Structure 1
Amino acid sequence: MSTKEQILNKIQILITNHFRTPEEAFLFFDEDGDGKLSKDEIKTLLKQAEISGFLRGIVSSKLIEGYDKDGDELINWQEFKYAIDEISDDSK
């Protein structure tokens, strides 16, 4: 299992074990309630998923780079849902 797969697996475990739905997780980590996850909010999610501090900055940047479809350097609900659906598909 690659490091990317391990990180995505930890995120999936966090969401499925601590939240009823991915949307509930999104709303929890959207600390300012603007409907988008900033890099810092993503780092908080990664910390909760037990991703090491050294990797959090790199991983949050890569997640934004990979899933930010509208180019605002934030992850909105649709982008988050797409990422979660992709993680779920990869784990089957």
Structure 2
Amino acid sequence: MQPQAVAILLLVVCAMVSPNPVIGVKRGRCEEKDKNRVLEACKRFIEVGHAKESPHNHSPCCKAVHTVPGHDMQCIVDLLTEKERKEHEQASIMALQEACDD
């Protein structure tokens, strides 16, 4: 077999074996849109000076938490701006992970 044919065959095999990036690839970390969704939906549970209550599992807040990859609230805290850190209690954000656990 000629080297060009081997190279083409190898490319075809690699293309067939490679996973489709649209399916089978999970998002690893949260994104800015996840943070914004959680901050908005969970506002009454995480703002500084809020009443000490937890959201129920089927609330809009928990639905927002469930959209975050791995329900990783540390990732949300890591994305907070300095202004958001002053307006929201980070411990309350972290507590959402357990409060909204399935």
TM-score for the superposition, normalised by structure 1: 0.27
Q: Which of the pair has more CA radius of gyration?
A: 2
Higher strand share: 1
Higher helix share: 1
TM-score for the superposition, normalised by structure 2: 0.26
